[in-house]
């Protein structure tokens, strides 16, 4: 049984040699006779996962003995561009082995989460069955090994990504994605972020235990930080069992949770234009900071790459139609409007992306107009004006005192962590 758990105390993380040796050991643990291998890394929105490097190493180790396909775990996201593939995975992997996952069409149902189980884990807040759907390649019987590479990090829907989330959401279908997002939203994202055994995770665990045993899955999980603009892979955990994920959770909670002694009055978050092109993704700035922002505080989002609301046309239209109008209003609309009932992940996203009037959210978006930003319930700031006030080239992560004397807390990449008032984290 493959069970590799590596951690590094060096601030720059595990070395390339350590990573390569670990991946080589995992291949040897799979045994002889490998011919066809499917690698499932995250997409470019998880650039800082270190998965690009691991995928490239696996390809180099396997290319001479195996046929390899790569299926980025897109979930609802846009397919990766050639430029993104090059930047994340390098130029040695042929483009024609990358396969786009289509969450609406390329899936097959492999099981069902019973409604009574969903009711139990949601404390009665949700009472419906959930279809377990995955990309049809995973159950095609074609592959001798499926290598699922994911980053363990605080997450707004499941509590802690990744592990089986890579399969059931990253390579999942509409019903599972919609239902799991809605489950997390009605339970309350602030009750689950940064924690392991959330209702959504329990649903994924049920599906993993009941319906994936015949898949030749191996999980390769990282915990990462960013040091001097470089990705540091602080931990690497490889195995099939849940203990692999739990080891990643422990390290990620140590590395990626920032507890604050007093709530922030003003937070400035920068969204890398290469990674964040929609509010669907850019609202990580909201999710990951909301538990640390004071009542009446301000969140300023510097979003040079944001050009739309959703990652596909249907979702984009629904966000534009309803906006980030708060949990209570979204739930009212959800009960009234058929297009939200049939797109639960959108309803959940609208709940997640609102401050419920508790603090102000101002978007300085590079490609959205004032009218567009304000139409979905955010405040607007011109990007160039925002840069004059909050220059990301001058700000450092953490507290900064501006020339004006104003004190702000700056975050250069919200995807790498969770900022939270300790008392809120420990309430549950």
What pLDDT shows up at residue 272? 94
Fold: same for 3-257 and 261-425: no
Q: Bridge-partner residues for 219, per DSSP?
A: 148, 239
User: Residue 321: which pLDDT band, with cuts at 50, 70 and 90?
Assistant: very high
The total number of residues shown for the chain amounts to: 428
Determine the Cα–Cα distance for residues 408 and 249; give it in Å rounded to an integer. Answer: 29
Q: What's domain 261-425's superfamily in CATH? A: LarA, C-terminal domain (3.90.226.30)
Using alpha carbons, select from 114, 108, 113, 158 the residue that is nearest to residue 133: 108
Q: Is the pLDDT of residue 106 over 90?
A: yes
User: Residue 229: which pLDDT band, with cuts at 50, 70 and 90?
Assistant: confident
Q: Which residues contact 403 (CB under 8 A, 6 or more apart)?
A: none
Q: What is the tens place of the pLDDT at every residue in 72-98?
A: 999 888 899 999 999 999 999 999 999
Q: Of the ranges 184-193, 315-324, 370-379, which one carries the lowest mean pLDDT score?
A: 184-193
The mean pLDDT of 256-285, rounded to a whole number, is: 94
Q: Is the pLDDT of residue 218 over 80?
A: yes
The class (CATH top level) of 3-257 is: alpha beta
Determine the Cα–Cα distance for residues 390 and 411; give it in Å rounded to an integer. Answer: 11
The residues spanned by each domain of the chain are 3-257, 261-425
DSSP 241: S
User: Residue 420: which pLDDT band, with cuts at 50, 70 and 90?
Assistant: very high
What pLDDT shows up at residue 1? 87
Percentage of residues in the chain having pLDDT higher than 90: 91
What pLDDT shows up at residue 76? 86
Q: Which residues contact 213 (CB under 8 A, 6 or more apart)?
A: none
Q: Please name the helix (run of DSSP H) or strand (run of DSSP E) that holds residue 255, with its range, or none.
A: helix 242-256
The mean pLDDT of 354-367, rounded to a whole number, is: 96
What pLDDT shows up at residue 426? 64
What pLDDT shows up at residue 428? 45
The mean pLDDT of 30-43, rounded to a whole number, is: 94
Q: Is the pLDDT of residue 361 over 60?
A: yes
Q: What is the tens place of the pLDDT at every residue in 234-250?
A: 999 999 999 999 999 99
Q: Is the pLDDT of residue 46 over 90?
A: no
> Model pTM?
0.91
The mean pLDDT of 214-222, rounded to a whole number, is: 97
């Amino acid at each position: 049984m493959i069970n590799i758990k590596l951690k590094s105390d060096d601030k720059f993380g595990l070395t390339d040699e350590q990573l390569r040796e670990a991946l080589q050991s995992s291949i040897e643990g799979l045994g002889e006779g490998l011919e066809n291998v499917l690698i499932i890394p995250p997409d470019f929105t998880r650039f800082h996962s270190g998965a690009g490097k691991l995928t490239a190493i696996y390809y180099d180790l396997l290319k001479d003995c195996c046929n390899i396909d790569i299926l980025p775990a897109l979930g609802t996201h846009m397919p990766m561009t050639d430029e993104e593939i090059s930047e994340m995975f390098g130029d040695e992997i042929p483009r024609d082995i990358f396969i786009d996952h289509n969450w609406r069409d390329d899936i097959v149902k492999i099981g069902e989460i019973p409604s009574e189980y969903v009711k139990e884990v949601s404390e009665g807040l949700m009472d419906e069955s959930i279809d377990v759907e995955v990309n049809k390649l995973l159950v095609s019987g074609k592959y001798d090994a499926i290598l699922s590479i994911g980053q363990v990090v605080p997450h707004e829907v499941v509590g802690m990504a990744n592990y089986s989330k890579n399969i059931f959401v990253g390579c999942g279908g509409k019903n599972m994605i919609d239902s799991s997002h809605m489950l997390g939203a009605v339970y309350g994202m602030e009750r689950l972020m940064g924690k392991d055994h959330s209702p959504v995770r329990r649903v994924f665990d049920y599906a993993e235990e009941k319906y994936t045993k015949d898949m030749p899955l191996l999980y390769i999980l990282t915990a990462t930080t960013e040091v001097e603009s470089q990705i540091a892979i602080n931990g690497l955990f490889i195995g099939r069992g849940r203990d692999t994920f739990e080891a990643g959770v422990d390290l990620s909670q140590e590395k990626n949770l920032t507890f604050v002694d007093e709530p922030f009055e003003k937070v400035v978050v920068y969204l890398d234009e290469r990674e964040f092109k929609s509010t669907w993704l850019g609202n990580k700035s909201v999710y990951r900071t909301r538990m640390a922002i004071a009542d009446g505080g301000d969140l300023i989002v510097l979003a040079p790459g944001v050009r739309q609301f959703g990652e596909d046309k249907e979702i984009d239209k629904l966000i534009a139609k309803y906006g980030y109008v708060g949990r209570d209003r979204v739930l009212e609309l959800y009960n009234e409007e058929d297009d939200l009932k049939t797109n639960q992940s959108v309803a959940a996203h609208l709940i997640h992306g609102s401050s419920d009037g508790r603090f102000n959210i101002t978007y300085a978006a590079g490609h959205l107009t004032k009218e567009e930003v304000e139409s979905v319930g955010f405040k607007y700031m011109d990007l160039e004006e925002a840069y004059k006030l909050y220059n990301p080239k001058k700000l450092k992560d953490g507290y900064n005192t501006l020339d004006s004397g104003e004190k702000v807390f700056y975050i250069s990449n919200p995807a790498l962590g969770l900022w939270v008032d300790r008392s809120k984290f420990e309430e549950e």
